[in-house]
Amino acid sequence: MNRLSRSLCQVSSHHFRPRPSFTPLVPKRCIGIPPAFLLDEYIPRYQLLTSVDASKKRSLAYAHLRECNLCPRRCGVNRYEETGVCLIGAETVKVNTIAPHRGEEPCIQGFNGSGSVFFSGCNLRCVFCQNHDIAHQRNGFDLTPEELADWFMKLQQVGNCHNINLVTPEHVVPQVALAILTARDMGLNIPIIYNTSSFDSLESLQLMDGLVDIYLPDFKVWKNSTSKRLLKAEDYTETAMESIKAMHKQVGDLCFTSDGIAKKGVLLRHLVMPGKEDEGREIMRWLAENVSKDLYVHIMEQYHPDAHVGKRKRTMKNSKGEEEAEVRYAEINRAVRDDELGSVRDAAVAAGLWRFCEANENSSMFHLNNRPRPPRLLPQIPHSPRPRNSSSNSNCPRPSPLVSALRPPCGLLLRRHKSHKAQLTLSATGSEGGEGQRTHIQVLANSVVATVLILLHTYVLRGSSAECFENGRSAADLLVVGIVANYAAVAADTFSSELGILSKSKPRLITSPTLRVVPPGTNGGVTAAGLLAGVFGAFTVALASAVLLPFCAESSLVDRVYWTFTFTGWGTLGSVLDSVLGGLLQASVVDKRTGKVVEGEGGKKVLVHPHPRAGGATGYSSASASASGSVQQRKGEKGGIETVHESRKIESGRDLLDNNAVNVLMAFIMSVGAMGVAGWVWGVSVFDIAASV
């Protein structure tokens, strides 16, 4: 421990004396960072875990140690009794060095350094390993998870590091998970980096899901023959592909705060090796096609022969009878040439990748990509210097002129919506900002009423000779009205909620007598921009139905215009009704620490939990069960009563329905209501539909 203490104290005393000022790596609100990857603030994912989730992860960590399957070698040993390939047991981890590290990418090391923890041991046997003394000789100190958590806190408090950088943790994932959870209860609040060779099992990555903010995976080689010879792992490539996709699914593309420090996402590294540039090109193409073209990539050039490479194998005589020394792994016993490095970079650009961390010509430091920045008059347009022929839709049929005209503004609008919503709302799971991707349940909730009406309409017309829409001469026309009303209402609601959140004005609660201001994303919160977006959404459906419905010949253009404006107003009314129902029947949960609305994945209910740092908090409590009291109580160590404050509170509404149920109820009311109004105007009874069936 003395060596670790001296290392941290010496580095901190040298680098972390108080400074009156500093020059940020990236100026505040620098337009060099596209807005889609810029965060206003960030809360580490492990801080968003509930006490129940944390308890489950602890149990899972202990289970992995009893039957180890943490890497694809799957030794299956009980590490409490014996060790596997990594030669590391269960009670402790072996650490070589703990110190602020300034040799990482600038977005990782920042101004004060990255709090790096170099673990001894490795589940690979790379013959060119540049950390051979750490990875293979297993030098260092044994630390328990509790002692490791103490060092995390020292890196944060004494070292003032921007993050905790776990270097080569694949074989000690359970102990690391326990240390993170312990440090979380001690007050750790900086991002966790998982610095890996990508030779991970999906089980270990699942354990780290919710604990890791940034993944730094290596993708070393492409061919199985190369991985077998140089890494001593024949299945490395397949394993790395699965692992990298799983990492990206958890945290997405790399995002920064305005000071240029990375907070979440994936930064992938590839070390170009002599004579292996063809494998590097294949890796770049695979990343662009299967992970993301927005993936942040560091193509590294600092390879040098090390470890077993270049060691004398035996002495042989040549044709002249002279003795020559044969060296091991002679094919990589040299430095990388510029043309090999350039070949991999060109392949990355050609594949559509555009976010690079490149070496500066004047120094050994690494900087953000130095591509031309967009004009200062367009600070909110993401800068994308991709080749024109690198679109992911290059193999798709040519779109219509209307789609081509709408694609640029719609794409920009959706990117802005995604980034804004991720900043304005929180996820209940902590994996992404907001409710995440739309699910089939949400789609069904919006369309189930219309689907039933379409089936009824098809059945009613089975024996009918009608060939056009007759404006109320038959009961079947009422079903058409209900179908259009459903889609106009849900379109207005979707446009209003998803685009209204881009409004700069504060939303006001529609169910409040005083129309009080509420956080963005609150159920029942409305803005003028959101209402206008709802009008536009209803108008698009109403106009499409007026153009595409087969009206009978006696119907005039005036009838179609009247139809369009009627359903535009009716759809807008549905959007307002959805806000009222959401404000009354759906609980809006707010995180107390950030003041942001917490959204459930896929429109599900959000649970209110005790504060994640509160030791002894157990179990879930739903919003309705927790609404009656703002605190929970537990017994203290001396038998007294101690309050445990919740980290979430209910901002508005009652916990009766989730978002999907509210959408179904709104669609039903608007469809049946429209059919009733149309039947009253046309003199056709809704009950005539039952007679037709």
pLDDT value at position 499? 80
Relative orientation angle of helices 145-157 and 2-15, to the nearest 10 degrees: 10
Report DSSP state, residue 250: H
Relative orientation angle of helices 51-66 and 173-186, to the nearest 10 degrees: 150
632 contacts 643 by C-beta, under 8 angstroms? yes
Query: Two tokens at 665?
Result: 């109820």
pLDDT value at position 286? 96
Return left, alpha or beta for 514; rule: phi > 0 is left, psi -120 to 50 is alpha, else beta: alpha
Residues 6+ apart with CB under 8 A from 590: 519, 522, 596, 597, 598, 648, 649, 650, 651
Cα–Cα distance for residue pair 392/8, rounded to 1 Å: 47
DSSP 113-176: -EEEEEES--S---TT-TTHHHHTT--SEEE-HHHHHHHHHHHHHTS--S-EEEES-GGGHHHH
pLDDT value at position 686? 67
pLDDT value at position 577? 95
588 contacts 523 by C-beta, under 8 angstroms? yes
Cα–Cα distance for residue pair 373/376, rounded to 1 Å: 8
Residues 6+ apart with CB under 8 A from 516: 508, 509
- Residues in the chain with pLDDT < 50? 1-2, 8, 11-31, 360-416, 429-432, 609-646
Spell out a b/e string for 608-629, using b for 16 or more CB atoms within 10 Å of the CB, else e. Answer: bbbbbbbeebeeebebeebbee
Per-residue three-class SS string for 438-498: CCHHHHHHHHHHHHHHHHHHHHHHHHCCCCCECCCCCCHHHHHHHHHHHHHHHHHHHHHHH
Indicate the burial class of 409 (C-beta count within 10 angstroms; 0-12, 13-18, 19 or more): exposed
27 contacts 410 by C-beta, under 8 angstroms? no
Closest CA to 52 of 635, 607, 665: 607
Closest CA to 247 of 233, 266, 261: 266
**CATH number of this structure's domain 37-251:** 3.20.20.70
Cα–Cα distance for residue pair 571/549, rounded to 1 Å: 18
Cα–Cα distance for residue pair 422/432, rounded to 1 Å: 7
Q: What totals of helices (H) and strands (E) does the chain contain, helices first?
A: 19, 22
pLDDT value at position 280? 93
CATH 3.20.20.70 placement within the chain:
37-251
Q: Output Rg (C-alpha) for the chain, integer angstroms.
A: 30
Task: Return the residue matching tokens 């994303």.
Answer: 521
Q: For the full predicted model, state whether its pTM sits above 0.75.
A: no
pLDDT value at position 595? 67
